[in-house]
A and B are shown apart, each in its own frame.
Chain A
Amino acid sequence: MVEAVGSKFIVEEVRKQFPILKRNINGKPLVYFDNGATSQKPQSVIEAISNYYSNYNSNIHRGVHTLSQEATQAYEDVRLRFQRFLNAKSSNEIIFTSGTTGGINLIANSFGKYYLKKGDEVIISEMEHHSNIVPWQMICNQLGAVLKIVPVLDNGELDMSAFKKLLNSKTKIVSIVHISNSLGTINPIKEIVELSREIGAKVHIDGAQAVQHMRVDVQDLDVDFYTFSIHKMFGPTGVGILYGKEDILDEIPPYQGGGDMIKTVSFEKTTYNELPHKFEAGTPNIADGIACLEALDFIEGLNWEEVHLHESELLNYATQELKKINGLRIIGEAVEKASLNSFVFEGIHAYDIGVLIDKMGVAVRTGHHCTQPLMKRFGVEGTVRASFALYNTKEEVDQLIEAILRAKKMLG
Protein backbone atom coordinates (compact mmCIF):
# COMPACT_ATOMS: atom_id res chain seq x y z
CA MET A 1 0.00 0.00 0.00
CA VAL A 2 1.17 3.48 -0.86
CA GLU A 3 2.07 5.28 2.31
CA ALA A 4 1.11 8.71 1.17
CA VAL A 5 -1.81 9.47 3.45
CA GLY A 6 -1.37 12.93 4.81
CA SER A 7 1.52 13.68 2.50
CA LYS A 8 1.43 16.41 -0.10
CA PHE A 9 -0.62 15.80 -3.23
CA ILE A 10 1.67 16.52 -6.14
CA VAL A 11 -0.12 16.21 -9.45
CA GLU A 12 3.09 15.64 -11.45
CA GLU A 13 3.94 12.68 -9.22
CA VAL A 14 0.46 11.20 -9.60
CA ARG A 15 0.58 11.63 -13.39
CA LYS A 16 3.72 9.50 -13.54
CA GLN A 17 1.68 6.52 -12.39
CA PHE A 18 -0.59 6.72 -15.46
CA PRO A 19 1.31 5.57 -18.56
CA ILE A 20 -1.41 6.65 -21.02
CA LEU A 21 -1.01 10.30 -20.02
CA LYS A 22 2.31 10.32 -21.89
CA ARG A 23 0.54 9.75 -25.20
CA ASN A 24 0.45 12.20 -28.06
CA ILE A 25 -2.60 12.61 -30.25
CA ASN A 26 -2.00 14.18 -33.66
CA GLY A 27 1.36 15.39 -32.43
CA LYS A 28 -0.09 17.11 -29.36
CA PRO A 29 0.10 15.87 -25.78
CA LEU A 30 -3.10 14.06 -24.87
CA VAL A 31 -5.46 16.08 -22.70
CA TYR A 32 -7.87 13.56 -21.29
CA PHE A 33 -11.05 15.28 -20.15
CA ASP A 34 -13.43 12.35 -20.61
CA ASN A 35 -13.04 11.05 -17.08
CA GLY A 36 -16.80 11.04 -16.57
CA ALA A 37 -16.96 8.24 -19.13
CA THR A 38 -14.01 6.32 -17.73
CA SER A 39 -10.86 7.23 -15.85
CA GLN A 40 -7.36 6.18 -16.85
CA LYS A 41 -5.56 3.43 -14.94
CA PRO A 42 -2.35 3.55 -12.94
CA GLN A 43 0.47 1.14 -13.84
CA SER A 44 -0.24 -0.92 -10.70
CA VAL A 45 -3.77 -1.77 -11.90
CA ILE A 46 -2.53 -2.68 -15.37
CA GLU A 47 0.15 -4.93 -13.91
CA ALA A 48 -2.22 -6.63 -11.48
CA ILE A 49 -4.36 -7.91 -14.36
CA SER A 50 -1.36 -9.37 -16.15
CA ASN A 51 0.02 -10.77 -12.89
CA TYR A 52 -3.22 -12.61 -12.21
CA TYR A 53 -3.26 -14.27 -15.63
CA SER A 54 0.47 -15.03 -15.47
CA ASN A 55 0.54 -16.54 -12.00
CA TYR A 56 -2.73 -17.73 -10.46
CA ASN A 57 -5.52 -17.67 -13.05
CA SER A 58 -8.20 -20.16 -11.99
CA ASN A 59 -11.87 -20.26 -11.13
CA ILE A 60 -12.81 -19.17 -7.65
CA HIS A 61 -14.96 -20.50 -4.79
CA ARG A 62 -14.90 -24.15 -5.82
CA GLY A 63 -11.42 -25.47 -6.57
CA VAL A 64 -9.42 -27.33 -3.96
CA HIS A 65 -6.15 -26.70 -5.74
CA THR A 66 -3.63 -24.02 -4.85
CA LEU A 67 -4.35 -21.68 -7.74
CA SER A 68 -8.06 -21.62 -7.01
CA GLN A 69 -7.42 -20.97 -3.35
CA GLU A 70 -5.06 -18.11 -4.14
CA ALA A 71 -7.48 -16.54 -6.59
CA THR A 72 -10.42 -16.98 -4.19
CA GLN A 73 -8.42 -15.41 -1.39
CA ALA A 74 -7.40 -12.43 -3.56
CA TYR A 75 -10.95 -11.92 -4.82
CA GLU A 76 -12.51 -12.09 -1.36
CA ASP A 77 -9.82 -9.79 0.02
CA VAL A 78 -11.03 -7.19 -2.45
CA ARG A 79 -14.54 -7.56 -1.09
CA LEU A 80 -13.21 -6.86 2.41
CA ARG A 81 -11.37 -3.85 1.10
CA PHE A 82 -14.55 -2.47 -0.46
CA GLN A 83 -16.33 -3.00 2.84
CA ARG A 84 -13.67 -0.85 4.50
CA PHE A 85 -13.67 1.65 1.59
CA LEU A 86 -17.41 2.27 1.99
CA ASN A 87 -17.47 1.72 5.76
CA ALA A 88 -20.11 -0.98 5.31
CA LYS A 89 -21.02 -2.99 8.42
CA SER A 90 -20.34 -6.37 6.86
CA SER A 91 -18.73 -7.83 3.75
CA ASN A 92 -22.10 -9.52 3.12
CA GLU A 93 -23.27 -6.08 2.06
CA ILE A 94 -20.76 -5.92 -0.79
CA ILE A 95 -22.01 -7.52 -4.02
CA PHE A 96 -19.79 -7.66 -7.07
CA THR A 97 -21.59 -6.62 -10.26
CA SER A 98 -20.58 -5.82 -13.82
CA GLY A 99 -20.93 -2.09 -13.14
CA THR A 100 -23.40 0.55 -12.00
CA THR A 101 -25.89 -0.48 -14.68
CA GLY A 102 -25.67 -4.11 -13.57
CA GLY A 103 -26.21 -3.07 -9.96
CA ILE A 104 -29.27 -0.94 -10.71
CA ASN A 105 -30.82 -3.70 -12.80
CA LEU A 106 -30.28 -6.07 -9.90
CA ILE A 107 -32.02 -3.74 -7.44
CA ALA A 108 -34.86 -2.89 -9.81
CA ASN A 109 -35.55 -6.54 -10.55
CA SER A 110 -34.91 -8.17 -7.20
CA PHE A 111 -36.05 -5.47 -4.79
CA GLY A 112 -38.62 -4.18 -7.28
CA LYS A 113 -40.33 -7.51 -7.79
CA TYR A 114 -40.36 -8.22 -4.07
CA TYR A 115 -41.50 -4.81 -2.83
CA LEU A 116 -43.43 -3.10 -5.61
CA LYS A 117 -47.10 -3.59 -6.24
CA LYS A 118 -49.59 -2.05 -8.59
CA GLY A 119 -50.04 1.64 -7.84
CA ASP A 120 -46.82 1.92 -5.78
CA GLU A 121 -44.48 4.75 -6.70
CA VAL A 122 -40.79 4.93 -7.56
CA ILE A 123 -39.12 8.34 -7.45
CA ILE A 124 -36.19 9.19 -9.72
CA SER A 125 -35.06 12.60 -11.00
CA GLU A 126 -34.84 14.48 -14.25
CA MET A 127 -31.03 14.38 -14.12
CA GLU A 128 -30.71 10.58 -14.04
CA HIS A 129 -28.51 8.63 -16.41
CA HIS A 130 -30.54 6.33 -18.66
CA SER A 131 -29.33 3.41 -16.56
CA ASN A 132 -31.18 4.84 -13.54
CA ILE A 133 -34.29 5.44 -15.63
CA VAL A 134 -34.84 2.49 -17.92
CA PRO A 135 -34.56 -0.39 -15.39
CA TRP A 136 -37.16 1.36 -13.20
CA GLN A 137 -39.36 2.09 -16.18
CA MET A 138 -39.23 -1.58 -17.18
CA ILE A 139 -40.10 -2.89 -13.73
CA CYS A 140 -42.84 -0.28 -13.22
CA ASN A 141 -44.40 -1.24 -16.55
CA GLN A 142 -44.30 -4.90 -15.60
CA LEU A 143 -45.88 -4.42 -12.18
CA GLY A 144 -48.17 -1.47 -12.79
CA ALA A 145 -46.13 0.78 -10.50
CA VAL A 146 -45.72 4.47 -11.26
CA LEU A 147 -42.50 6.37 -11.96
CA LYS A 148 -42.37 9.89 -10.47
CA ILE A 149 -39.78 12.43 -11.57
CA VAL A 150 -38.13 15.11 -9.42
CA PRO A 151 -37.57 18.17 -11.64
CA VAL A 152 -34.27 20.00 -11.98
CA LEU A 153 -33.91 23.76 -11.35
CA ASP A 154 -32.35 26.14 -13.89
CA ASN A 155 -28.99 26.10 -12.10
CA GLY A 156 -28.86 22.31 -12.29
CA GLU A 157 -29.86 21.55 -8.71
CA LEU A 158 -32.63 19.16 -7.74
CA ASP A 159 -35.94 20.84 -6.95
CA MET A 160 -36.08 19.64 -3.35
CA SER A 161 -39.42 21.27 -2.60
CA ALA A 162 -40.91 19.35 -5.52
CA PHE A 163 -39.25 16.22 -4.17
CA LYS A 164 -40.92 16.71 -0.78
CA LYS A 165 -44.28 17.03 -2.49
CA LEU A 166 -43.75 13.83 -4.48
CA LEU A 167 -43.07 11.75 -1.37
CA ASN A 168 -46.13 9.96 -0.04
CA SER A 169 -47.21 6.67 1.50
CA LYS A 170 -47.18 4.99 -1.93
CA THR A 171 -43.48 5.82 -2.45
CA LYS A 172 -41.53 2.58 -2.06
CA ILE A 173 -38.10 3.52 -3.35
CA VAL A 174 -36.23 6.70 -4.20
CA SER A 175 -33.41 6.23 -6.72
CA ILE A 176 -31.28 9.32 -7.27
CA VAL A 177 -27.85 10.06 -8.67
CA HIS A 178 -25.17 11.23 -6.21
CA ILE A 179 -23.32 13.39 -8.78
CA SER A 180 -24.90 14.19 -12.14
CA ASN A 181 -22.73 12.95 -15.02
CA SER A 182 -24.00 15.75 -17.27
CA LEU A 183 -24.12 18.70 -14.87
CA GLY A 184 -21.71 17.86 -12.07
CA THR A 185 -24.39 18.66 -9.47
CA ILE A 186 -23.71 17.02 -6.10
CA ASN A 187 -27.09 16.09 -4.69
CA PRO A 188 -27.96 16.42 -0.97
CA ILE A 189 -28.03 12.70 -0.25
CA LYS A 190 -28.43 12.95 3.51
CA GLU A 191 -31.46 15.19 3.15
CA ILE A 192 -32.94 12.88 0.50
CA VAL A 193 -32.45 9.90 2.83
CA GLU A 194 -33.95 11.68 5.85
CA LEU A 195 -37.03 12.78 3.93
CA SER A 196 -37.49 9.32 2.44
CA ARG A 197 -37.19 7.69 5.87
CA GLU A 198 -40.10 9.76 7.17
CA ILE A 199 -42.46 7.95 4.82
CA GLY A 200 -40.67 4.60 5.00
CA ALA A 201 -39.27 4.57 1.46
CA LYS A 202 -35.97 2.86 0.66
CA VAL A 203 -33.19 4.83 -1.01
CA HIS A 204 -30.78 3.85 -3.77
CA ILE A 205 -27.98 6.22 -4.72
CA ASP A 206 -26.20 5.95 -8.09
CA GLY A 207 -22.63 6.73 -7.14
CA ALA A 208 -21.03 6.21 -10.56
CA GLN A 209 -19.67 9.75 -10.71
CA ALA A 210 -19.03 10.18 -7.00
CA VAL A 211 -16.49 7.59 -5.86
CA GLN A 212 -13.64 9.12 -7.88
CA HIS A 213 -14.25 12.59 -6.46
CA MET A 214 -15.10 12.01 -2.81
CA ARG A 215 -14.95 9.49 -0.02
CA VAL A 216 -18.29 7.79 0.51
CA ASP A 217 -19.40 6.43 3.89
CA VAL A 218 -22.57 4.36 3.45
CA GLN A 219 -23.34 4.29 7.18
CA ASP A 220 -23.00 8.03 7.46
CA LEU A 221 -25.23 8.55 4.40
CA ASP A 222 -27.55 5.82 5.72
CA VAL A 223 -28.53 4.72 2.20
CA ASP A 224 -30.17 1.34 1.59
CA PHE A 225 -28.38 0.76 -1.70
CA TYR A 226 -25.35 2.38 -3.31
CA THR A 227 -23.97 1.41 -6.73
CA PHE A 228 -20.86 2.35 -8.67
CA SER A 229 -18.39 1.21 -11.36
CA ILE A 230 -14.71 0.66 -10.67
CA HIS A 231 -13.58 1.79 -14.12
CA LYS A 232 -14.51 5.36 -13.27
CA MET A 233 -12.32 5.25 -10.15
CA PHE A 234 -8.99 4.28 -11.74
CA GLY A 235 -9.76 0.55 -11.77
CA PRO A 236 -10.54 -1.94 -14.54
CA THR A 237 -13.70 -2.08 -16.64
CA GLY A 238 -16.33 -4.73 -16.06
CA VAL A 239 -16.52 -4.59 -12.27
CA GLY A 240 -18.99 -2.73 -10.14
CA ILE A 241 -20.10 -2.76 -6.54
CA LEU A 242 -23.60 -2.88 -5.22
CA TYR A 243 -23.78 -2.02 -1.55
CA GLY A 244 -27.02 -3.03 0.14
CA LYS A 245 -28.04 -3.14 3.78
CA GLU A 246 -27.75 -6.73 4.91
CA ASP A 247 -31.29 -7.16 6.20
CA ILE A 248 -32.73 -5.98 2.89
CA LEU A 249 -30.38 -8.08 0.78
CA ASP A 250 -31.27 -11.06 2.95
CA GLU A 251 -34.95 -10.51 2.39
CA ILE A 252 -35.09 -9.95 -1.34
CA PRO A 253 -34.85 -12.81 -3.87
CA PRO A 254 -31.83 -13.52 -6.10
CA TYR A 255 -31.71 -11.76 -9.47
CA GLN A 256 -29.98 -14.25 -11.75
CA GLY A 257 -29.81 -18.00 -11.32
CA GLY A 258 -26.81 -20.20 -11.96
CA GLY A 259 -23.66 -21.53 -10.36
CA ASP A 260 -22.21 -20.04 -7.18
CA MET A 261 -25.55 -18.58 -6.04
CA ILE A 262 -27.06 -21.91 -4.92
CA LYS A 263 -26.74 -24.10 -1.86
CA THR A 264 -28.47 -27.22 -3.22
CA VAL A 265 -30.13 -27.91 -6.54
CA SER A 266 -32.64 -30.59 -7.38
CA PHE A 267 -35.28 -30.54 -10.09
CA GLU A 268 -37.93 -30.16 -7.42
CA LYS A 269 -36.38 -27.40 -5.36
CA THR A 270 -33.29 -25.23 -5.23
CA THR A 271 -32.06 -23.50 -2.11
CA TYR A 272 -30.05 -20.34 -2.49
CA ASN A 273 -26.61 -19.56 -1.20
CA GLU A 274 -26.07 -17.03 1.55
CA LEU A 275 -25.00 -13.44 1.14
CA PRO A 276 -23.15 -12.14 -0.71
CA HIS A 277 -22.97 -15.12 -3.10
CA LYS A 278 -26.76 -15.28 -3.48
CA PHE A 279 -26.47 -12.36 -5.91
CA GLU A 280 -23.37 -13.51 -7.75
CA ALA A 281 -24.43 -16.18 -10.22
CA GLY A 282 -21.80 -17.63 -12.53
CA THR A 283 -18.06 -17.06 -12.82
CA PRO A 284 -17.40 -13.40 -12.08
CA ASN A 285 -14.85 -11.08 -13.65
CA ILE A 286 -12.04 -12.46 -11.50
CA ALA A 287 -9.01 -10.77 -13.09
CA ASP A 288 -10.49 -7.28 -13.05
CA GLY A 289 -12.04 -7.88 -9.65
CA ILE A 290 -8.67 -8.72 -8.15
CA ALA A 291 -7.04 -5.72 -9.84
CA CYS A 292 -9.50 -3.46 -8.00
CA LEU A 293 -7.23 -3.83 -5.00
CA GLU A 294 -4.62 -1.69 -6.70
CA ALA A 295 -7.22 0.96 -7.57
CA LEU A 296 -8.25 1.05 -3.91
CA ASP A 297 -4.62 1.27 -2.81
CA PHE A 298 -4.18 4.20 -5.16
CA ILE A 299 -7.28 6.03 -3.92
CA GLU A 300 -6.76 5.33 -0.24
CA GLY A 301 -3.14 6.40 -0.51
CA LEU A 302 -4.13 9.93 -1.51
CA ASN A 303 -4.53 12.92 0.72
CA TRP A 304 -8.17 13.63 -0.02
CA GLU A 305 -8.26 17.10 1.43
CA GLU A 306 -5.63 18.10 -1.07
CA VAL A 307 -7.30 16.19 -3.91
CA HIS A 308 -10.49 18.16 -3.23
CA LEU A 309 -8.56 21.39 -3.24
CA HIS A 310 -6.84 20.50 -6.51
CA GLU A 311 -10.08 19.43 -8.19
CA SER A 312 -12.00 22.51 -7.10
CA GLU A 313 -9.16 24.73 -8.28
CA LEU A 314 -9.33 23.01 -11.65
CA LEU A 315 -13.09 23.44 -11.83
CA ASN A 316 -12.97 27.09 -10.83
CA TYR A 317 -10.20 27.84 -13.28
CA ALA A 318 -11.92 26.02 -16.14
CA THR A 319 -15.26 27.69 -15.36
CA GLN A 320 -13.65 31.13 -15.29
CA GLU A 321 -11.75 30.57 -18.56
CA LEU A 322 -14.68 28.93 -20.40
CA LYS A 323 -16.93 31.84 -19.47
CA LYS A 324 -14.58 34.21 -21.25
CA ILE A 325 -15.38 32.50 -24.57
CA ASN A 326 -17.95 34.35 -26.60
CA GLY A 327 -21.21 32.48 -27.17
CA LEU A 328 -20.34 29.69 -24.72
CA ARG A 329 -22.92 28.81 -22.11
CA ILE A 330 -22.29 26.48 -19.17
CA ILE A 331 -25.17 24.12 -18.39
CA GLY A 332 -25.35 23.33 -14.71
CA GLU A 333 -23.99 25.73 -12.12
CA ALA A 334 -25.03 24.11 -8.88
CA VAL A 335 -23.45 25.49 -5.73
CA GLU A 336 -22.25 22.01 -4.82
CA LYS A 337 -20.59 20.81 -8.00
CA ALA A 338 -18.02 18.16 -8.91
CA SER A 339 -15.17 18.91 -11.30
CA LEU A 340 -16.81 18.80 -14.69
CA ASN A 341 -18.18 21.39 -17.06
CA SER A 342 -20.94 20.87 -19.60
CA PHE A 343 -21.37 23.60 -22.17
CA VAL A 344 -23.00 24.60 -25.44
CA PHE A 345 -22.22 27.18 -28.09
CA GLU A 346 -24.51 29.60 -29.79
CA GLY A 347 -24.87 28.43 -33.40
CA ILE A 348 -22.23 25.70 -33.16
CA HIS A 349 -22.98 22.00 -32.75
CA ALA A 350 -21.22 20.17 -29.91
CA TYR A 351 -20.18 17.40 -32.32
CA ASP A 352 -18.26 19.83 -34.54
CA ILE A 353 -16.33 21.16 -31.55
CA GLY A 354 -15.63 17.62 -30.30
CA VAL A 355 -14.27 16.43 -33.66
CA LEU A 356 -11.99 19.44 -34.12
CA ILE A 357 -10.54 19.64 -30.61
CA ASP A 358 -9.80 15.90 -30.76
CA LYS A 359 -7.53 16.74 -33.68
CA MET A 360 -5.75 19.05 -31.26
CA GLY A 361 -5.25 16.32 -28.68
CA VAL A 362 -8.18 17.14 -26.41
CA ALA A 363 -10.56 14.30 -25.52
CA VAL A 364 -13.99 15.43 -24.36
CA ARG A 365 -17.43 13.90 -24.60
CA THR A 366 -20.11 15.38 -26.82
CA GLY A 367 -23.76 14.46 -27.11
CA HIS A 368 -26.54 13.76 -24.64
CA HIS A 369 -24.37 11.79 -22.15
CA CYS A 370 -27.13 9.17 -21.77
CA THR A 371 -29.34 11.80 -20.14
CA GLN A 372 -31.82 12.64 -22.90
CA PRO A 373 -34.61 13.84 -20.57
CA LEU A 374 -32.16 16.25 -18.94
CA MET A 375 -31.02 17.60 -22.32
CA LYS A 376 -34.67 18.14 -23.22
CA ARG A 377 -35.22 19.98 -19.95
CA PHE A 378 -32.42 22.42 -20.83
CA GLY A 379 -33.62 22.68 -24.43
CA VAL A 380 -30.39 21.38 -25.96
CA GLU A 381 -29.64 18.40 -28.21
CA GLY A 382 -26.38 17.75 -26.41
CA THR A 383 -23.42 19.44 -24.78
CA VAL A 384 -19.65 19.34 -24.78
CA ARG A 385 -18.54 17.87 -21.48
CA ALA A 386 -15.06 18.29 -20.06
CA SER A 387 -14.84 16.08 -16.97
CA PHE A 388 -11.72 16.36 -14.88
CA ALA A 389 -9.86 13.84 -12.75
CA LEU A 390 -7.31 14.39 -10.02
CA TYR A 391 -4.44 13.91 -12.50
CA ASN A 392 -5.53 16.81 -14.71
CA THR A 393 -3.78 20.18 -14.63
CA LYS A 394 -4.44 23.86 -15.26
CA GLU A 395 -2.08 23.70 -18.25
CA GLU A 396 -4.40 21.10 -19.75
CA VAL A 397 -7.34 23.43 -19.20
CA ASP A 398 -5.34 26.05 -21.13
CA GLN A 399 -4.90 23.57 -23.98
CA LEU A 400 -8.67 22.93 -23.96
CA ILE A 401 -9.44 26.65 -24.14
CA GLU A 402 -6.93 27.19 -26.92
CA ALA A 403 -8.37 24.25 -28.88
CA ILE A 404 -11.92 25.51 -28.46
CA LEU A 405 -10.96 28.98 -29.66
CA ARG A 406 -9.24 27.53 -32.71
CA ALA A 407 -12.18 25.22 -33.49
CA LYS A 408 -14.59 28.12 -33.08
CA LYS A 409 -12.59 30.16 -35.53
CA MET A 410 -12.69 27.32 -38.06
CA LEU A 411 -16.42 26.87 -37.64
CA GLY A 412 -17.37 30.51 -37.32
Chain B
Amino acid sequence: MSIQERQEEIIEEFAMFGDWMYKYEYIISLGKELPLIEESKKLDENLIKGCQSRVWLDAQLKDNHIHFTADSDAIITKGIISLMIRVLDDLSPSEIINSDLYFIDRIGLKEHLSPTRSNGLVSMIKQMKMYALAYQTKINNG
Protein backbone atom coordinates (compact mmCIF):
# COMPACT_ATOMS: atom_id res chain seq x y z
CA MET B 1 0.00 0.00 0.00
CA SER B 2 1.35 3.44 -0.88
CA ILE B 3 1.69 6.23 1.67
CA GLN B 4 -1.32 7.90 0.13
CA GLU B 5 -3.47 4.77 0.35
CA ARG B 6 -2.46 4.26 3.97
CA GLN B 7 -3.43 7.81 4.83
CA GLU B 8 -6.75 7.56 2.99
CA GLU B 9 -7.53 4.40 4.94
CA ILE B 10 -6.99 6.17 8.26
CA ILE B 11 -9.04 9.18 7.12
CA GLU B 12 -11.90 6.83 6.24
CA GLU B 13 -11.69 5.13 9.64
CA PHE B 14 -11.85 8.46 11.44
CA ALA B 15 -14.75 9.70 9.33
CA MET B 16 -16.94 7.25 11.27
CA PHE B 17 -16.44 9.08 14.55
CA GLY B 18 -19.02 11.82 14.87
CA ASP B 19 -18.09 12.93 18.38
CA TRP B 20 -14.64 13.93 19.64
CA MET B 21 -15.03 11.39 22.41
CA TYR B 22 -15.17 8.38 20.11
CA LYS B 23 -12.19 9.68 18.17
CA TYR B 24 -10.12 10.02 21.32
CA GLU B 25 -11.30 6.70 22.69
CA TYR B 26 -9.97 5.11 19.50
CA ILE B 27 -6.64 6.96 19.78
CA ILE B 28 -6.38 5.93 23.43
CA SER B 29 -7.06 2.31 22.49
CA LEU B 30 -4.26 2.51 19.89
CA GLY B 31 -2.02 4.02 22.53
CA LYS B 32 -2.82 1.28 25.02
CA GLU B 33 -1.58 -1.49 22.75
CA LEU B 34 1.65 -3.11 23.82
CA PRO B 35 4.68 -0.85 24.11
CA LEU B 36 5.84 -0.17 20.60
CA ILE B 37 9.50 -0.07 21.47
CA GLU B 38 11.69 -2.54 23.32
CA GLU B 39 12.56 -1.37 26.83
CA SER B 40 16.25 -1.76 25.94
CA LYS B 41 15.81 0.89 23.25
CA LYS B 42 14.21 3.44 25.57
CA LEU B 43 17.57 5.13 25.77
CA ASP B 44 18.27 8.80 26.16
CA GLU B 45 19.81 8.85 22.68
CA ASN B 46 16.45 7.72 21.27
CA LEU B 47 14.51 10.24 23.33
CA ILE B 48 12.78 13.17 21.70
CA LYS B 49 12.00 15.49 24.51
CA GLY B 50 8.93 17.66 24.22
CA CYS B 51 7.78 20.09 26.83
CA GLN B 52 4.68 18.02 27.55
CA SER B 53 5.40 14.40 26.78
CA ARG B 54 8.41 12.28 25.90
CA VAL B 55 8.76 10.20 22.75
CA TRP B 56 11.28 7.45 22.06
CA LEU B 57 12.01 6.53 18.45
CA ASP B 58 14.14 3.81 16.91
CA ALA B 59 14.66 2.99 13.22
CA GLN B 60 16.23 -0.09 11.65
CA LEU B 61 17.00 -0.76 8.00
CA LYS B 62 16.06 -4.19 6.62
CA ASP B 63 16.09 -5.04 2.89
CA ASN B 64 16.33 -1.34 2.08
CA HIS B 65 13.13 -0.63 4.01
CA ILE B 66 12.95 1.24 7.30
CA HIS B 67 11.19 -0.22 10.33
CA PHE B 68 10.18 2.18 13.05
CA THR B 69 9.39 1.49 16.66
CA ALA B 70 8.38 4.20 19.10
CA ASP B 71 6.78 4.89 22.43
CA SER B 72 5.63 7.77 24.60
CA ASP B 73 4.77 8.29 28.24
CA ALA B 74 1.46 9.93 27.27
CA ILE B 75 -1.21 7.63 25.84
CA ILE B 76 -2.72 10.13 23.41
CA THR B 77 0.72 10.92 22.00
CA LYS B 78 1.36 7.20 21.77
CA GLY B 79 -1.89 6.64 19.88
CA ILE B 80 -0.97 9.28 17.33
CA ILE B 81 2.52 7.80 17.04
CA SER B 82 1.05 4.43 16.18
CA LEU B 83 -0.87 6.11 13.33
CA MET B 84 2.31 7.72 12.05
CA ILE B 85 4.15 4.45 12.13
CA ARG B 86 1.28 2.80 10.30
CA VAL B 87 1.78 5.36 7.51
CA LEU B 88 5.58 5.44 7.38
CA ASP B 89 6.68 1.95 8.38
CA ASP B 90 8.30 -0.53 5.98
CA LEU B 91 8.98 1.98 3.22
CA SER B 92 12.13 2.91 1.36
CA PRO B 93 14.09 5.89 2.67
CA SER B 94 13.22 8.01 -0.37
CA GLU B 95 9.49 7.34 0.06
CA ILE B 96 9.72 8.56 3.67
CA ILE B 97 11.81 11.60 2.81
CA ASN B 98 9.31 12.70 0.16
CA SER B 99 6.21 11.89 2.20
CA ASP B 100 3.58 14.50 2.92
CA LEU B 101 1.68 13.63 6.09
CA TYR B 102 -1.68 15.22 5.45
CA PHE B 103 -3.83 12.71 7.35
CA ILE B 104 -3.25 14.30 10.77
CA ASP B 105 -4.88 17.49 9.55
CA ARG B 106 -7.71 15.62 7.82
CA ILE B 107 -8.65 13.59 10.90
CA GLY B 108 -8.80 16.78 12.96
CA LEU B 109 -5.71 16.25 15.08
CA LYS B 110 -3.63 19.10 13.71
CA GLU B 111 -3.50 20.77 17.11
CA HIS B 112 -1.30 17.93 18.27
CA LEU B 113 1.29 18.87 15.68
CA SER B 114 1.54 22.56 16.45
CA PRO B 115 5.12 23.36 17.39
CA THR B 116 3.91 25.03 20.55
CA ARG B 117 2.22 21.85 21.74
CA SER B 118 5.73 20.55 22.31
CA ASN B 119 4.55 17.01 22.76
CA GLY B 120 7.45 15.65 20.74
CA LEU B 121 5.34 14.75 17.67
CA VAL B 122 6.71 17.46 15.37
CA SER B 123 10.23 16.50 16.35
CA MET B 124 9.33 12.86 15.84
CA ILE B 125 8.31 13.41 12.20
CA LYS B 126 11.53 15.37 11.68
CA GLN B 127 13.49 12.57 13.28
CA MET B 128 11.80 9.90 11.13
CA LYS B 129 12.84 11.81 8.02
CA MET B 130 16.36 12.28 9.40
CA TYR B 131 16.69 8.52 9.87
CA ALA B 132 15.46 8.03 6.29
CA LEU B 133 17.99 10.53 5.02
CA ALA B 134 20.80 8.88 6.94
CA TYR B 135 19.87 5.40 5.67
CA GLN B 136 19.56 6.67 2.10
CA THR B 137 23.05 8.12 2.28
CA LYS B 138 24.24 4.79 3.63
CA ILE B 139 22.57 2.88 0.76
CA ASN B 140 23.94 5.30 -1.85
CA ASN B 141 27.44 4.94 -0.48
CA GLY B 142 27.05 1.20 -0.73
Q: Which residues of A contact B (CB under 8 A)?
A: 26, 348-352, 354-356, 359, 366-368, 381-382, 410-411
Contacts of A411 in B (CB 8 A): 28, 75
Report the Cα distance A368→B49, complex, angstroms: 12
Q: How far is the CB of B109 from chain A (nearest CB, A)?
A: 10
Known: A381-B73, A411-B75. A351 touches B28 (CB 8 A): no
- 10 further A-B pairs in the complex, CB-CB below 8 A; given A26-B20, A410-B28: A348-B75, A349-B53, A349-B75, A351-B52, A352-B75, A355-B24, A355-B112, A359-B20, A359-B21, A381-B54
Interface centre among A26, A356, A359, A410 (most CB of B within 10 A): A410
Please, what's the 1-or-0 string for B30-44, where 1 marks a CB less than 8 Å from any CB in chain A?
000000000000000
CB pair B74–A352 under 8 Å, yes or no, is yes
Q: Which of B1-42 contact A (CB under 8 A)?
A: 20-21, 24-25, 28
Nearest first, the 8 A-B pairs at minimum CB distance are A349-B74, A351-B74, A351-B52, A351-B53, A367-B52, A352-B76, A359-B20, A352-B75
Contacts of B28 in A (CB 8 A): 352, 410-411
CB pair A349–B51 under 8 Å, yes or no, is no
Interface centre among A26, A352, A411 (most CB of B within 10 A): A352
Contacts of B21 in A (CB 8 A): 359, 410
Number of interchain pairs (Cβ within 8 Å)? 40
Contacts of A350 in B (CB 8 A): 52
Instruction: Say yes or no for B77: interface residue by CB 8 A criterion.
Output: yes
Contacts of B74 in A (CB 8 A): 349, 351-352
Between-chain CB contacts (< 8 Å), 6 pairs: A349-B73, A349-B75, A350-B52, A382-B52, A410-B24, A411-B28
Instruction: Say yes or no for B119: interface residue by CB 8 A criterion.
Output: yes
Contacts of A381 in B (CB 8 A): 54, 73
CB pair A359–B52 under 8 Å, yes or no, is no
Contacts of B20 in A (CB 8 A): 26, 359
CB pair A368–B54 under 8 Å, yes or no, is no
Contacts of B75 in A (CB 8 A): 348-349, 352, 411
Q: How far is the CB of B19 from chain A (nearest CB, A)?
A: 10
Q: Which residue of B lies closest to A358 (CB)?
A: B111
Report the Cα distance A411→B28, complex, angstroms: 7
CB pair B24–A351 under 8 Å, yes or no, is no
Interface centre among A26, A355, A368 (most CB of B within 10 A): A355
Report the Cα distance A26→B21, complex, angstroms: 11
CB pair B51–A368 under 8 Å, yes or no, is yes
Q: How far is the CB of A381 from chain B (nearest CB, A)?
A: 7
CB pair B24–A359 under 8 Å, yes or no, is yes
Contacts of A382 in B (CB 8 A): 52
Report the Cα distance A351→B119, complex, angstroms: 8
Q: Which of B55-94 contact A (CB under 8 A)?
A: 73-77
